[in-house]
Amino acid sequence: MHFFRKLARLAVLTILASSLYAQTAANQAEPIVTALSQQDYGRALLLLAPALKQAPGNAGLWTMQGAALAGQGRKQEAFVAFRHAIQLAPDDIPALQGAAQIAYDTGDPAGIPVLEQLLKLRPGDVTSHGMLAVLQYQQGRCADAVVHFEKASALFATRAPALDAYGTCLVRVKQLDKAAEVFAQSLALQPDAPRARLVTASVQLIAHQPETALATLDPLLGQHADASSLELASAAYESMHDTDKAVDALRQAILLDPHNVNLYVDLAVLSSTHQSFQVGIDAVNDGIHLLPNAAALYFARGVLYVQTAQYDRAQADFDKAYQLDPNQSLSVAALGLATVQQNDLKRALADVREKLARRPRDPILLYLEADILTQQGAEPGSHDFEAAMRSAKEAVALRPSLEPAHSVLAKLYLQAGQFAEAATQCRKALEIDPKDQTAVYHLIQALRKTDKKDEIPALLKRLAQLREDATKEEREQYRYKLVEGDSASK
């Protein structure tokens, strides 16, 4: 982002011209300052070499060295020179400004403490507040950034990208009403930008302002409406209790984008909410006809079948969904093993085993080893399957509260035909995390093979409710991601 680049650079050059002369001996500084003011950076560096050799502890000379190097585009060397000046004179404003400018231009978080020091000396410097806000935003430090965005708001009035960054930070810290105001201000600067209109409406929906969101979307809802606009409009209509319009908007969106899985799922949730179960089933059937490998559609239809007490069909749909997407549990993602998430299981296993060699009783590493081997398709009786079973058992023994380990162990017991043991592990997982959909599903699978089948209908209802709740949360997260994605592209 370059919201303040020109403004900040002018400030730095101005203060260099006025201040550097006073910081050094007149006979040394005058020709150097003259060369800098004439943008003759090569000559300035030639003059600086003997001056620095004679007075290496002179902060003003190091600041001028930084300015000359920056003028030649040698930013990294310039930054080093400015930082050296700051070490010699922590309150050297020209050096602080020069270092801050380079860090800002390059998105270097090292500029954050520099700007914080600068603001201690000049707390009312709006440009420094703005630069600090952007750097903090880029580092995900939104709680800090919003304070400086607010203090630099006068600079943002005509800068849509800066307003979007500010608005995104406000969303992250849950100041939703203020975020909606800031995105509306950004939209006013770019009223013909459909993406900006969608993002603004999304924030207004997150902030529970459906009427305002509909007004924002109105220019996009005419003859040439697209599926994204109609999907947001449907959510707004439903929030306003106008279900007929919500359904109509979704149906129109599906006609425009028939391969969009989310639209069928939205319609299924809407149908379930208003107990129009067959309407939802028919809509999802259409989606499955076009998208026979979409796990989310089988989950959605399974939920609707549970609502109509068609438990055999619900079980069949949940089985199909888990067959298509066996990694439904969020446990692995929560642990954040990047290589697993990227489906590089071979590399992930090697990484985990390398760590286990150093920490053989680490329960999380043991769980991960078991989970990766399971994902690789280890068959009962194989060496890998036995290794997975041993690691999972040891993981739950070392840390009984490690819910994902219980889930993996349950899956292994299921594969081994040890259904009572699988059910026990599922129940332990659900004691720790009652929302674990995979544990509920595996418990249903285990109970099918025991004499406790009477529990299955209630568990199917529980799974359906968990899935429906998760779907609603996913729709909300989708709106957050729309905001995040828009600001990241600026």
pLDDT in tens, 423-445: 999 999 999 989 888 899 999 99
Per-residue pLDDT, 481:
66
Asked if 82 contacts 95 with a C-beta cutoff of 8 angstroms, the reply is yes
Please answer whether residues 269 and 472 qualify as being in contact, where contact means their C-beta atoms are separated by less than 8 angstroms: yes
CATH classification number, 5-156, choose in 1.10.1240.10, 3.40.50.920, 3.90.1170.50, 1.25.40.10: 1.25.40.10
Residue with tokens 């058992």: 393
Q: Write the pLDDT tens digit of every residue in 378-418.
A: 999 999 999 999 999 999 999 999 888 999 999 999 999 99
Q: Do domains 5-156 and 335-450 have the same CATH topology?
A: yes
Report the amino acid identity of residue 216.
T
- H-only helix segments in 107-152: 111-121, 126-138, 142-151
Q: Please give the C-alpha separations between residue 248 and each of 9, 226, 234, 400, in angstroms, as whole numbers.
A: 54, 14, 8, 49
Q: What six digits make up the tokens of 29? A: 């500084």
Task: Taking residues 20-25, report their average pLDDT.
Answer: 46
* Burial of residue 232 (number of CB atoms within 10 Å: 0-12, 13-18, 19+): buried
Band of the pLDDT at 257, cuts 50, 70, 90? Answer: very high
| CA–CA gap between residue 85 and residue 57 (Å, rounded) | 9
In one letter, which amino acid is 103? A
Kindly give the residue spans of alpha helices, DSSP state H, lying in 291-362: 295-307, 311-324, 331-335, 338-341, 345-358
What is the enclosing helix (H) or strand (E) of 431? Answer: helix 419-432
Per cent of the chain over pLDDT 70 is: 88
The 8-class DSSP code of residue 220 comes to G
Q: Which two tokens stand for residue 156?
A: 């943002």
Provide the CA 118 distance to its chain's centre, in angstroms.
Answer: 31
Confidence band (pLDDT; 50, 70, 90) for 338? very low
| DSSP conformation class of 450 | S
- Report whether 324 contacts 291 (CB < 8 A): no
Residue-wise pLDDT for 306-332, tens only, equals 888 898 898 899 889 888 876 554 333
- Distance of alpha carbon 304 from alpha carbon 372, whole angstroms: 33
Q: Has domain 335-450 been given CATH number 1.25.40.10? A: yes
Ranges of each domain in the chain: 5-156, 335-450
Q: What is the DSSP string of 446-488?
A: HHHTSS-GGGHHHHHHHHHHHHHHHHHHHHHHHHHHHHHHHHH
Q: 4, 127 in Cβ contact below 8 A?
A: yes
